[in-house]
Structure 1
Amino acid sequence: MNGTNDKDSTPLWTPSADAIAASNMMAFMTLVNARHGVSLGGYDELHAWSVANPALFWDAVWDFTGVIGEKGTTVLADEEKMPGAAFFPEARLNFAENLLRGEGGDTVLLFNNEGVMAAPLTRAELRRDVARFAAVLKSWGVGEGDRVAAFMPNCPETIVAMLAAASLGAVFSSCSPDFGVKGVLDRFGQIEPKVLVACDGYRYAGKVLPAHDKLAEIVAGLPSLEHAAIVPFIGEGPKNIEKAQDWTALLSAAPETELSFTPLPFSHPLYIMYSSGTTGIPKCIVHSAGGTLLQHLKEHRLHCDLRPGETLFYFTTCGWMMWNWLVSGLAAGVTLALYDGSPFAPSGRVLFDYIEAAKINVFGTSAKFIDAVKKSGLSPRETHDLSSMRMILSTGSPLVPESFDFVYEEVKDDVALCSISGGTD
């Protein structure tokens, strides 16, 4: 993985020989070579082999990443039908179980709201809260295939809601609270959710923005809705919103139950996401539990080389697919560093402060953010300890050459800067 300088075709960054030898990608290639009697010598050869042998490749990814579930004997059915082929048609798994593996007291979620840090959440606490909200959903009659919608910031409660829904086989869909009422109803109105999880408001650029008026219209505009759980994000709670109860009260009153997971087919729907809506009402896009899990494990473990104990950050809202990508990092055993609000509030330093304080290893952002930092005149390498950060991911649009130069000159010279533009729902 080399960044290339178009001016003279010399690499901007090259991993050390020791880093290559110790990488997950090398360990995976070694597994493939041993299992299939091949002698793949590098990434290009591994990639070509994966394209030529999709069933063998994904079978190896399942085993290498330690997916929890029953794989079955068939990896790829009707391979000649693309589209139309079926991966792992006999498999049974649960997405939430794979993200909640382990029961220790290690920190799994950090949350930063415009420079204000919340108490970290441990794995045991996350499992406890997921079990509690799953019990609430079950008491409301939520089961396989029902839709749970979220109108939420990028905070721990949103992850709890998603995992609780997934544990039962329900389908999760989310919008960010900065969406207008029409934008929310254009999306959620199509999927007929049974439950809505929503915040009472949010903070952006130092301002508190209540959401009660929006919520009243959203709830009224969703005739399928039976229950709403309101997270007191700004401390006000549900007030007089119809069908609504307070999130904190619901979890406090929920019975202490063991976390359980419904085994589901590989192709069982997990998420409903949406097209941009630029050519009419946003189109619904369904993503399966197995496909999402395996693809994200591949990207996190192999391409990002994530290891248990590392910390992953991506600047995103719950209205962008990078939120779903970020959350899957739990399956790789990492700590997620969540952030909600403006990336320039209270100052342009706030995300670099977060890297330093949380010792973030993989930092994800947008090309626009890097350009904005460049234009602001900041030089983070002079003001912050960024020694923990080994990789920067940029998406949303292609990263221009000047932004590559800025990162290596003013942010950090020894970092893998990856322009992964193309992230869409």
Structure 2
Amino acid sequence: MTVHQESVSEICAPIWAPDPAATATTQITEFTALISARTGETYPGYRDLWRYSVGRPADFWSAVVDYFDVMVDDVPVDVLPSTAMPGARWFPDARINYAEHALRHSGPDAAIIGIDEHRSMTEVSWDTLRGHVGALQRWLRARGVGRGDRVVGYLPNTVHAVVGLLATTGIGAVWAVCGQDYGAAGAQARLGQLEPTVLLAADGYRWNGTEHDRRDEVSRLRDAMPTVRAVLRVPVLDRWADADAPAGEAEWAEVVAESVEPEFVRVEFNDPLWVLFSSGTTGVPKGIVHSHGGVVIDHFKVMGLHNDLRRGDRFFWYTTTNWMMWNMVASGLLVGATVVLYDGSPGYPGPQRLWEIAADHRVSVLGVSPGYLAAGAAAGLHPATQFDLSALRAIACTGAPLPAQSYHWIHDEVGAHIQVASTSGGTDVVSGFAGCAPTTPVWPGEISAPLLGVDLQAWGADGRAVVDEVGELVIATPMPSMPIGFWHDPDGTRYREAYFDTFPGVWRHGDWITVTERGSVIISGRSDATLNRQGVRLGSADIYDAVETLPEIREALVIGAELGESRYWMPLFVVLVDGSVLDDALRARIVAAIRSEASPRHVPDDIITVPAIPHTRTGKKLEVPVKRLIQGRPLGQVTGVDTVDDPDALQYFARFAKGFGGSDA
């Protein structure tokens, strides 16, 4: 049994609709014409094209390869011999290289623009980028790095990280990176799994106006990874010059001083490209391995068909190297777009910082988090009048469900012509499941549609697709960017358990979603954090949508904890805006909002003020770890403190749980 507010297909009219004159020249329109010419059929709307893409996946992805002129050797006649999952192999025996596509552009115009908190800017042309990548490849090869070896980065979001990615993968080696907000132990828990040969490490990073020297952490990290034969020292704070490099360490400036033409090794289509890591909030971070070919064709689709990016556009998504969006940003290079990198706090020196960057650098597509948009609204920003955003055509948003009020705020304060491109995806597939395209309308609080080639459905417990009802997010046919496996999982047991145990042969992602009658998608939260009252399920996002619109509430977190003896406790934790008080009147308004806008059955048992809500480093609320603490699990078994954006907030909940009756944290 499920709760749903109303027939979502009747909630409202679109807040944004495509302009036929503008969409006529988009890449997705050109691509649709290609498909029509091949099939002899017409595809009058996006949903028609989507049905083709999931109904005939081999034909669709072959068309992506042709449309974007993807360089693949030995393309097989049958590009997808079997759609069985897990284990589907795309383009078997074909050969390809990710970096070759990212660097097939040249010229003096900017490929990458790097910006830091000091407002200094580094602009790297396509020609300079190619020269730096080739020089780093030469240095790596001289240290014995070759196909299948691992090169890792302990780096902030600077140009150096992108050069490291392209140089490594260009020669067929495997890349992984994490940010320096992790200490040596946290970085080693991720990168050390790979037994890397070479480490690229910065001397530190800047955050919120403070410089963080990480040279000691670099030394500890190297000592903790005995397979590392060489370290390349990257200057971000310019502190490496304080001491001579020890044996086995080299300086960035010396390595890239001479421009060298890059070389590319075309590897098997399904060979490993990079390793991304799960958040580690419920155990040791999993190393998720993606393939060269799967990423290339999927990211061409996302960047070209969905974002309509091409040469001359500028693509800026606020991220760190810890998040899969960093990999997506790097893939803007595939379509020739200029990628903008910002290393620092999005709120420094104020909540307007990302808008300033978008204006200064004529950004076409801007990616931010729901929290950043909410902070701008709370601060009273008026981006349309404060900044020149005339080049901006879309604001993308992911990391958490985007509430309806943020759509209205963008419409009113950024521009009615701006498309709100709310998206949902994951590190697991280093891509999106649902999002938008230039040809899809936008409804407040909803994601416009499943992405092309993504057979996204909502399934009930009986394994049947449901419409206009909450169900499990599943992917019913293979995607090219699904992992080729987990690191150190030789028989695939952990991989199968992670995605295919609930519905054999079908990917279950772990989110509650609604697919509406019109084809849009609503994310209701993680299914392992579902609020289940007497068999009636509700996603936590529905509670947040109701509560976080109240002016006194800065943020909220809700859990449903089974406490034994059939006891179920559902508290709502709230962070109040400065000066607000949780009195009886505010409690009554919170309850009324939940009753009317979410579900009368899901009024919380208690409403409790807390100083802060803990999140993952990518901004997701730590609902499940907090639930586990309340159920009595010690903090050390619930999550690693280094995976959390605010360890003090998590420690607060650990102390709360201890006083509540949980285990000693």
Greater Cα offset, 206-215 or 111-120: 111-120
Deviation, 1:226, is 0.5
Quote how far apart the aligned CAs of 1:7 are.
Answer: 8.8
Match of 1:248 in 2: 253
Q: Which residue matches 2:218? A: 215
Q: Is the 8 A contact 1:148 1:193 kept in 2?
A: yes
Post-superposition offset of 1:66: 1.4
Report the counterpart of residue 148 of structure 2 in structure 1: 145
Contact 2:231 2:250 in 1 (8 A): yes
Aligned-partner residue type, residue 393 of structure 1: A
Q: Which residue of 2 aligns with 1:388?
A: 391
Quote the offset at 1:250 in angstroms: 2.2
Ranges of 4+ aligned residues in structure 1 off by more than 4 Å? 5-8
Q: Are the counterparts in 2 of residues 367 and 394 from structure 1 also a CA contact under 8 Å? A: yes
Aligned partners of 2:154 and 2:200 also within 8 Å: yes
Give a deviation string over 1:327-360, Cα, whole Å, max 9, x none. Answer: 0110101000111100111222221111111000
Query: Is residue 68–residue 98 contact of structure 1 (8 Å, CA) maintained in 2?
Result: yes
Q: Deviations over 1:281-316 (max 9, x none)?
A: 101100001111111110110111112110000100
Counterpart in the other structure of 1:199:
202
Aligned 8 A contact 2:62 2:79 in 1: no
Q: Is the 8 A contact 1:363 1:391 kept in 2?
A: yes
Which residue of the partner structure matches residue 573 of structure 2?
none
**Residue in structure 2 matched with residue 334 of structure 1 by the alignment:** 337
Higher-Rg structure is 2
Q: Which runs of 5+ in 1 are unaligned?
A: none
What do the CA deviations read for 1:386-424 (whole angstroms, capped 9, x no partner)? 111001100000101111121111222210101103333
- Worse overlay, 158-167 or 230-239: 230-239
Between structures 1 and 2, the one with greater helix share? 1
User: Secondary structure at 2:312's aligned position in 1?
Assistant: coil
1:32 lines up with 2:25 in the alignment: no
The answer to whether residue 108 in structure 2 is matched with residue 105 in structure 1 is: yes
Alignment of 1:121-136 (within 5 A): 121-136=124-139
Write the letter of the residue equivalent to 1:174: V
Q: Distance in 1 between matches of 2:328 and 2:414?
A: 25
- Once residues 370 and 115 of structure 1 are traced to their aligned partners in structure 2, the CA distance between those partners, rounded to angstroms, is 23
Deviations 1:65-115 (A, max 9, x none): 111232513343432423222111132111111000122112111111025
Q: From the superposition, tell whether residues 71 and 354 of structure 1 become closer, same or farther in structure 2 (CA, over 3 Å).
A: farther
Counterparts of 1:383 and 1:290, CA distance in 2: 43
Match of 2:234 among 228, 231, 235: 231
The Cα offsets for residues 233-275 of structure 1, whole Å up to 9 and x where unpaired, read as 10112746663221112222x6x54321111111111110111
Match of 1:52 in 2: 55
Aligned residue among 402, 426, 434 for 1:423:
426
Q: Work out the CA distance in 1 between the residues paired with 2:404 and 2:74.
A: 44
Equivalent in the alignment of 1:401: 404
Which residue of the other structure, out of 379, 382, 398, is the alignment partner of 2:382? 379
Q: Secondary structure at the match of 2:99?
A: helix
Which has the higher mean CA deviation after the structures are superposed, 70-79 or 172-181? 70-79
Distance 1:217 1:157, change over 3 A: same
In structure 2, the residue matched to 1:292 is 295
Secondary structure, counterpart of 1:209 in structure 2: strand
How many angstroms does 1:15 deviate by? Answer: 1.6
Q: Which amino acid aligns with 1:74?
A: V
2:175 aligns with 172
The RMSD of aligned alpha carbons is 1.6
Tell me: higher relative CO, structure 1 or 2? Use CA pairs within 8 A at least 6 residues apart: 1
Distance in 2 (CA, whole Å) between partners of 1:266 and 1:180 is 35
For 1:249 and 1:20, the matched residues in 2 are separated by 47
Query: 1:17, 1:40 → 2: CA distance?
Result: 15
Shift of 1:191: 0.6
1:278 equivalent in structure 2: 281
CA distance in 2 between counterparts of 1:340 and 1:402 reads: 29
The answer to whether the 8 A contact 2:79-2:90 is kept is yes
Look up the SS of the partner of 1:87 in the other structure.
coil
Give the distance between the partners of 1:264 and 1:8, measured in 2 at CA. Answer: 49
The within-5 A match list for 1:5-16 is 9-16=12-19
Instruction: Give the aligned partner of residue 314 of structure 1.
Output: 317
> Which residue in the other structure is 1:157 paired with?
160
Number of matched pairs? 419
Cross-structure match for 1:61: 64
Unaligned segments of structure 2, at least 5 residues: 1-7, 429-665
SS in structure 2 of the partner of residue 338 of structure 1 = strand
Post-superposition CA distance 1:199-219 (Å, at most 9, x none): 101111111110011111101
Structure 1 pair 19–236 and aligned structure 2 pair: CA distance change class (3 A): same
Higher mean Cα deviation, 72-81 or 260-269?
A: 72-81
- CA distance in structure 2 between the partners assigned to 1:186 and 1:74 by the alignment: 42
Structure 1's 308 and 257: CA in aligned 2 closer, same or farther, altered over 3 A? closer
Q: Report sequence identity in percent.
A: 37
Amino acid at match of 1:190: Q
CA 1:383–1:280 in structure 2 vs 1: closer, same or farther (change >3 Å)?
A: same
Deviation at 1:382, TM superposition (A): 1.9
Give me the whole-angstrom Cα distance separating, in 2, the residues matched to 1:247 and 1:153.
15
* Conserved 8 A contact 2:132-2:260: no
Pick from 350, 354, 358: which aligns with 1:351?
A: 354
Counterpart residue type for residue 237 of structure 2: I
CA distance in structure 2 between the partners assigned to 1:23 and 1:54 by the alignment: 22
Match of 1:95 among 83, 92, 98: 98
Instruction: For 2:22 and 2:205, locate their aligned partners in 1 and report how far apart those are by CA, in whole Å.
Output: 41
